[in-house]
Amino acid sequence: MERNSIQQRTTQEKLLLVLSVVCGLGITPFVFFRYMQGDWAMVALDIIIVIGMVLVFFYVYRTKKTKYPSLLFLFVAQVGSTISFYINGGHMVNWIYPAMLSTFFVAKPRYALLINFVILLVYSPKLISYFNTIDIIIVVFSVSISNIIAFRFTQGLREQEKELKKIASEDYLTETGNRRALKLYLDKLWVKIQKDNTLATLILLDLDHFKKINDDYGHLVGDKALVNISQLIKETLDDNYPIFRYGGEEFLIVCPCASQDGYALAEKIRKEVKKANLIEQSKMTISLGVAQYNDGETLNQWIHRVDEALYQAKNKGRDCVIKL
């Protein structure tokens, strides 16, 4: 199914899937080893950890949700490593390193650092009873260095991921969503509409005589017009109305409302553009098409209908709104 395709998953989903599999498979052999040794407390603990990892894997795999699986993973990994240390003694301290490092890949770096600091405090009483002063210093120092390195590494990764997502989903000129972002947004919206019968209306607008602006005043002036109109639309709307650059001088707005409200909003945008000075050289107008989603139609049919509405607005003489 497309829902379970690895390409469709977020980084957080992939991390949870991989970490849960690695931890589950890695700990499973210890269940049998400790069973043969008669270490029943550790057998029970390892079984609980493996079950926790299985739950994390299948929940993320089936639902693509990560908030609660992340919390479960953190709880199982950190509590499991701590209890094993308290049950079996000093040689189990080695499990603190993978448990703490995995925390950075599941939680935000600053939260992971705080969680690991608390876990180290929980370890402290047993560390003092099991090790001499030099060994305690070595453990604390090595744990601290590991956490600092992991913090800087994962923080850098998250910043790079955020920047890459912005580059991949944002139009560099107008800072609106690009066609890729539009497709992802509409795919999710379409699923929501089918599930919850959500109201949604598309507004597609086009700058009138934009080619003449480029021909008469140059592409830099044309770019300025695009930047200014996108900014004007953002100021006119709120965050509930995502804006995407659909084509060269076309913008598409997704409205969580019925067509009559979408029409009123389109009229408001048209009037704001008409009275604004988008460029010094000339006044500008826009034409707009409006289409509410109709039950039973596909995304392509919906988009085609709003495109047809814009086409009719152009044929009607421009500087107007047509609703279909």
Average pLDDT over residues 203-218: 88
Alpha helical stretches, state H, the chain:
11-37, 40-63, 67-88, 96-106, 109-130, 133-169, 179-196, 210-217, 219-236, 259-275, 299-315
Please say if the pLDDT value at position 32 is more than 60: yes
Average pLDDT over residues 47-67: 92
Catalytically annotated residue among 170, 235, 249, 267? 249
Average pLDDT over residues 281-289: 87
Q: Where in the chain is the domain with CATH 3.30.70.270?
A: 179-323
Query: What CATH topology corresponds to 179-323?
Result: Alpha-Beta Plaits (3.30.70)
Please say if the pLDDT value at position 90 is more than 90: no
Please say if the pLDDT value at position 107 is more than 90: no
Average pLDDT over residues 156-175: 84
Average pLDDT over residues 302-316: 91
Could you tell me the pLDDT band of residue 5, with boundaries at 50, 70 and 90? Answer: low
For residue range 230-261, list pLDDT tens digits in order: 889 888 887 788 999 988 889 999 988 887 88
**Please, are residues 173 and 126 in contact by the beta-carbon 8 Å criterion?**
no
Average pLDDT over residues 198-222: 88
Average pLDDT over residues 31-56: 92
Average pLDDT over residues 169-186: 86
Please say if the pLDDT value at position 24 is more than 50: yes
Q: What is the pLDDT of residue 2?
A: 42
Average pLDDT over residues 98-121: 91
**Please, are residues 55 and 1 in contact by the beta-carbon 8 Å criterion?**
no
Please say if the pLDDT value at position 3 is more than 50: no
Q: How far apart are alpha carbons 28 and 87 in whole angstroms?
A: 18
Q: What is the pLDDT of residue 318?
A: 87
Please say if the pLDDT value at position 170 is more than 90: no
Q: Say whether 249 is catalytic.
A: yes
Give the containing element (helix H, strand E) for 322. strand 321-323
Could you tell me the pLDDT band of residue 149, with boundaries at 50, 70 and 90? Answer: very high
Q: How far apart are alpha carbons 80 and 146 in whole angstroms?
A: 20
Q: Which two tokens stand for residue 299?
A: 């995304």
Please say if the pLDDT value at position 104 is more than 60: yes
Average pLDDT over residues 74-87: 90
Could you tell me the pLDDT band of residue 29, with boundaries at 50, 70 and 90? Answer: very high
Q: What is the pLDDT of residue 72?
A: 93
Average pLDDT over residues 103-130: 90
Q: What is the pLDDT of residue 7?
A: 57
Highest mean pLDDT among 68-77, 170-179, 233-242: 68-77
Q: What is the pLDDT of residue 8?
A: 66
